[in-house]
Amino acid sequence: MIIVNLIGGLGNQMFQYAVGQALARARGQSLRLDISGFDGYGLHQGFELLRVFTCETPIASDDELRTILGWRAAPAVRRLLARPGFTALRGPTFIVEPHFHYWRGVCDVPATAYLQGYWQSEKYFANTAVALRADFGFRQPMSEVNAALAERIDRCMAVSLHVRRGDYVSDSRTRAVLGPCSSDYYHAAMRYVAERVQNPEFFVFSDDIVWARDNLNIGVSCHYIDHNRGTESYNDMRLMSLCRHHILANSSFSWWGAWLNPRENKVVLAPACWFSGGERRVDDLFPQGWVTL
């Protein structure tokens, strides 16, 4: 059995599910999700993976956690052992992601294991991409408004453009790690698209649509999407995935919006400066063919 720890927003949950499911399939094991970290969790929309997608994966029970982790199963103990200085006490089944870029040691993870980390690289699950896209089929039918947008997207050279601000601006701790992308980045990305895509039509998704309107100054046909809020915000990712091409924010949410688009000829642009400090390697974050600016 593989158990994977889930935490963070929807994009993070998808990365965590993806690595767990890839390992489980490769080893012929069942997958369980540990969602205990969402108890009292007040960020984003909480745990929403199984509400949004058609994947059917059981939640790990306390007994299953103890079977794999033994005395390490208690949440307080797991939090302590996840720190760098306690590697020797984790044992062979408690696997903590050692760094942000792709970790080759994942190939040696045993068939019975508990995974903790963010695992933000397609390299962890590229071999199961077709099955994973099926797992990430959207569960609920579209609203009338979103269905009309989906039809419009299908009829044109649609380019999704994601502006993530929110806590990237308002929360000092988040801003120190993940600051918002500049208008210069978006202008450069739009020029790049315009030079390669005939008659592009931009669909702008943002948690700060006022900033997007005031700062992007898109001179061609565009649509500002601002009605998918709260528990319905995942529908922005759904609409992004229907577009032909993509301009990302430094956000796992729009990363997945682009990845769920299966077209091989898609243009995907991402900010080269993903983190504010620039101290983390991000070369493994972007699939082959994606362009950074």
CA-to-CA distance for 244 and 205, rounded, in angstroms?
15
Residue 234 near residue 10, CB atoms below 8 Å:
yes
State both tokens at 156: 């044109």
**What local confidence, expressed as pLDDT, does residue 280 receive?**
81
In what order do the strands lie in the sheet containing 222-225?
Answer: 222-225, 200-206, 157-163, 245-247, 268-270, 291-292
CA-to-CA distance for 83 and 85, rounded, in angstroms?
6
- In this prediction the pTM is 0.95
Residue 46 near residue 52, CB atoms below 8 Å:
no
**What local confidence, expressed as pLDDT, does residue 220 receive?**
78
**What local confidence, expressed as pLDDT, does residue 40 receive?**
75
State both tokens at 219: 């001179």
Q: What is the pLDDT along the chain (293 residues), one digit of tens a residue?
A: 999 999 999 999 999 999 999 999 999 999 999 999 888 776 677 899 999 999 999 999 999 999 999 999 999 999 999 999 899 999 999 999 999 999 999 999 999 999 999 999 999 999 999 999 999 999 999 999 999 999 999 999 999 999 998 777 767 677 667 788 999 999 999 999 999 999 999 999 999 999 999 999 887 789 999 999 999 999 999 999 999 999 999 999 999 999 999 999 999 999 999 988 766 889 999 999 999 99
14, HSE (Cβ side, Cα atoms, 13 Å): 28
- Listed by start position, the domains of the chain span 2-135, 144-292
CA-to-CA distance for 130 and 122, rounded, in angstroms?
13
Q: Which fold has domain 144-292?
A: Rossmann fold (3.40.50)
**What local confidence, expressed as pLDDT, does residue 271 receive?**
96
**By C-alpha distance, which of 217, 222, 292 is closest to 255?**
292
Could you please report the per-residue DSSP string of the chain? Answer: -EEEE--SSHHHHHHHHHHHHHHHHHHT--EEEE-GGGTT--STTSS-HHHHB----PBPPHHHHHHHHGGGGSHHHHHHHTSGGGGGGS-SSEEE--SSS--GGGGG--SSEEEES----GGGTGGGHHHHHHHT-B-SPPPHHHHHHHHHHHTTEEEEEEE--THHHH-HHHHHHSPPPPHHHHHHHHHHHHTTSSSEEEEEEES-HHHHHHHH---S-EEEE----GGGTHHHHHHHHHSSEEE--SSHHHHHHHHT---TT--EEE-S--SSS--S--GGGSPTT-EE-
**What local confidence, expressed as pLDDT, does residue 45 receive?**
79
**What local confidence, expressed as pLDDT, does residue 12 receive?**
96
Rounded alpha-carbon distances, angstroms, from residue 181 to 48, 81, 285, 293: 26, 34, 17, 11
**What local confidence, expressed as pLDDT, does residue 42 receive?**
64
Residue 52 near residue 234, CB atoms below 8 Å:
yes
**What local confidence, expressed as pLDDT, does residue 172 receive?**
64
